[in-house]
């Protein structure tokens, strides 16, 4: 949790930009170089204890638990029982005009619930059912329950931040113009599309099959039926891989947002399918062996979920799951030969059974590995939702210092037991033993800009890195023929150049010591201007190696790390997204703000 000194620093901080380029060391004879303690990782484990009826068990004590890591007993350092502490909201002193901060105002000691409505991985018909069940539950939600609503389609979007006002939540879900309603997945074919593809294969099989014709590998390779089957299989594999990447990215974004909120976060994920293996499997010798192509992103996702105290509760969106061949809207009658019909029915039953079992297995893994619980094959989604929120509110938090202090980056399994009583325990089953210093080893750095996915128009503000920013039109404005500020060098029409001054909390950055007592690190700053409908108009990206001499570092500790950027925004630009990313620790801070609040000045004309 951020300390109160951040608030004072951010409010009183003057905007005097400090040069971060090459600096000459200042001799300081007679003064010993400062020393710094190495970080020791503290492992935090939230655990929900339930009885045979699934009800939460309260009143347990530290002495009732034992914890081990990779089979080695660990000493519990701290222990706390949570009973739904009330939500508190900080109130900052008034900020000066045109100055904004991403300091998190919502504080809670216990739990927050996040409803994630997934249309990327869910058929359209199931989305409608989930939407109805969600409205039904929110109409009876207990007072004071903290809930936020997100959707996942081609990207993650926040529809409603954390609130205890059920009327706000219902308004979001009932808004027919919003994104909470059903939407067809761009990467998951519908049942009708699957049936059409199968009909096409059946037609080709009937037209091209030659009874008893010899078939060798060469003929099989050019056979049109096999070619079509391979094409459909390749397409399905591409769509599945794309859905997996988008899903992982969304979980990372969600974890970063939730990291600013203290306590346990229960992500209630309504989906029609859950990509298999998006988290490590602690039951395997190599937990990530089955998903090596995604191993770096899975590792990043695992770390973010664990450090943010996120428990995932997967809820299958389809309700009860009868085989589709028995549904009244199943395959058309009389369009196939009986032999083909019987063959396809058997194949369809087998395929659906495998997919359903795989999906349920993935749900169980997700829940087990993060400390949640999976719900499937039930029509009582609102009942499942109520149980999740009840159980996720009453839980225990324990911490320990690992006896193995070697932060080698390997996955370590956690085992938690109760000394007395037979109860169910839900807790995360492991973590990667790495700190900020090991996070950047070879093979773990993403091959894309990690800040860019966090800069979307409808994403929530992040506060892993706290900063304040002042945004004003530049004075004077550039001449019409001046080079454009931003990557959109073809910017047309009248535009306004904005000066953007950052003051970043140094305590949130990974700044390693230098031999002369200073600090060095690396950060990225980004600005994105948007039109009213969310269209990006211009982009500024700046990556900097920081080298701070001792006196400069002392000033940065008091005043923050100060930076100045400029961006040109055309007349339709109404929203600016700002972001700071620490390349050493993988932490990020973002803040969106309306440009219409800035004072009007004459715009620079286009050439």
Across 4-8, 256-260, 378-382, 456-460, least confident range: 4-8
Sign of CA dihedral 474, 476, 477, 483: negative
Higher pLDDT, 3 or 363: 363
CA-to-CA separations, 111 to 79, 107, 132, 310, 394, in angstroms, rounded: 16, 10, 25, 10, 9
Output the pLDDT for position 285: 59
- Asked whether residue 547 carries a pLDDT value surpassing 90, the answer given is yes
Q: Which of 10, 92, 1, 11 is nearest to 467 (CA)?
A: 10
List, by residue range, all CATH 3.40.50.410 domains of the chain. Answer: 111-207+218-391
- The three-state secondary structure class of 35 is coil
Q: How far apart are CA 323 and CA 352, in angstroms?
A: 7
Q: Which helix (H) or strand (E) holds 579?
A: strand 573-582
Coil, helix or strand for 238? helix
Tens of pLDDT along 194-240?
A: 666 666 666 666 666 555 544 554 555 556 667 766 666 667 677 77
Q: Is the pTM value of this prediction over 0.75?
A: no
Spatial CA neighbour of 284 closest among 404, 375, 364, 365: 365
Strand partners, 69: 72, 414
DSSP conformation letters of 549-563: -HHHHHHHHHH-EEE
Cis peptide before 513 (omega within 30 of 0): no
The angle that helices 124-138 and 166-174 make with each other, rounded to 10 degrees, is 150
Predicted confidence (pLDDT) at residue 36 exceeds the cutoff of 60: no
Q: Give the whole-angstrom CA distance, residue 173 versus residue 599.
A: 35
How confident is the model over 585-589, as a mean pLDDT? 90
- 266 Cβ partners below 8 Å, 6+ apart? 111, 112, 113, 114, 311, 313, 372, 388, 389, 392
Tally of CB atoms within 10 A around 35: 7
CATH of region 111-207+218-391, choose from 3.40.50.11810, 1.20.58.100, 3.30.1490.190, 3.40.50.410: 3.40.50.410
Tokens 């808004």 label which residue? 175
Q: Is the pLDDT of residue 337 over 60?
A: no
């Amino acid at each position: 949790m951020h300390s109160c000194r951040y608030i004072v620093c951010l409010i009183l901080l003057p905007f005097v930009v400090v040069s971060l380029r090459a600096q000459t060391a200042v001799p300081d004879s007679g003064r010993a170089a400062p020393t710094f303690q190495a970080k020791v990782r503290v492992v935090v484990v939230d655990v929900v204890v339930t009885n045979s009826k699934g009800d939460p068990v309260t009143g347990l004590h530290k002495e009732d638990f034992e914890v081990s890591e990779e089979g080695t007993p660990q000493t519990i350092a701290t222990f706390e029982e949570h009973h739904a502490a009330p939500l508190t909201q900080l109130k900052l002193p008034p900020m000066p005009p045109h100055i904004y901060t991403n300091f998190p105002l919502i504080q809670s000691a216990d739990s927050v619930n996040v409803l994630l409505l997934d249309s990327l991985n869910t058929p359209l018909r199931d989305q409608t059912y989930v939407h109805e069940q969600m409205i039904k539950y929110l109409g009876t939600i207990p007072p004071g329950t903290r809930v936020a609503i997100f959707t996942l389609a081609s990207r993650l979007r926040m529809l409603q931040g954390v609130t205890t006002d059920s009327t706000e939540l219902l308004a979001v879900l009932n808004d027919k113009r919003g994104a909470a309603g059903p939407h067809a997945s761009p990467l998951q074919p519908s049942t009708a599309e699957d049936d059409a593809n199968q009909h096409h294969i059946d037609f080709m099989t009937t037209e091209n099959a030659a009874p008893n014709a010899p078939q060798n590998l060469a003929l099989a390779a050019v056979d049109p039926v096999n070619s079509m089957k391979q094409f459909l299989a390749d397409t399905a594999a591409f769509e599945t891989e794309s859905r997996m990447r988008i899903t992982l990215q969304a979980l990372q974004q969600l974890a970063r947002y939730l990291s600013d909120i203290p306590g346990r976060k229960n992500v209630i994920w309504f989906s029609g399918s859950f990509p298999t293996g998006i988290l490590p499997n602690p039951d395997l010798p190599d937990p990530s062996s089955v998903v090596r192509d995604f191993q770096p992103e899975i590792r990043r996702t695992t770390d973010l979920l664990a450090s943010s105290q996120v428990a995932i509760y997967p809820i299958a969106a389809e309700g009860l799951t009868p085989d589709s061949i028995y549904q009244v809207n199943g395959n058309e009658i009389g369009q196939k030969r009986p032999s083909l019909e019987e063959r396809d029915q058997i194949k369809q039953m087998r395929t659906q059974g495998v997919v359903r079992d795989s999906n349920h297995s993935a749900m169980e893994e997700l829940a087990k590995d993060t400390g949640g619980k999976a719900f499937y094959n039930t029509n009582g989604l609102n009942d499942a939702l109520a149980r999740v929120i009840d159980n996720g509110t009453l839980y225990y938090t324990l911490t320990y210092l690992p006896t193995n202090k070697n932060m080698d980056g390997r996955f370590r399994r956690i085992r938690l037991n109760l000394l007395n009583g037979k109860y169910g325990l839900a807790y995360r089953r492991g973590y990667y033993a790495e700190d900020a210093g090991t996070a950047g080893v070879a093979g773990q750095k993403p091959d894309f800009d990690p800040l860019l996915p966090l800069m979307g128009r409808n994403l929530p503000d992040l506060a892993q890195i706290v900063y304040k920013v002042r945004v004003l039109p530049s004075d004077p404005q550039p001449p019409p023929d001046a080079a454009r500020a931003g990557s959109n060098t073809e910017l047309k029409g009248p535009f306004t150049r904005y000066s953007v001054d950052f003051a970043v909390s140094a305590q949130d950055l990974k700044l390693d010591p230098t031999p002369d007592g200073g600090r060095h690190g690396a950060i990225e700053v980004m600005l994105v201007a948007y039109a009213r409908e969310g269209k990006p108009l211009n982009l500024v990206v700046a990556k900097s190696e920081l080298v701070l001499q001792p006196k400069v570092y002392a000033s940065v500790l008091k005043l923050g790390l100060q930076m100045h950027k400029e961006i040109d925004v055309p007349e339709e630009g109404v929203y600016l997204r700002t972001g700071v990313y620490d390349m050493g620790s993988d932490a990020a801070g973002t803040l969106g703000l309306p440009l219409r609040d800035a004072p009007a000045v004459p715009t620079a004309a286009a050439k």
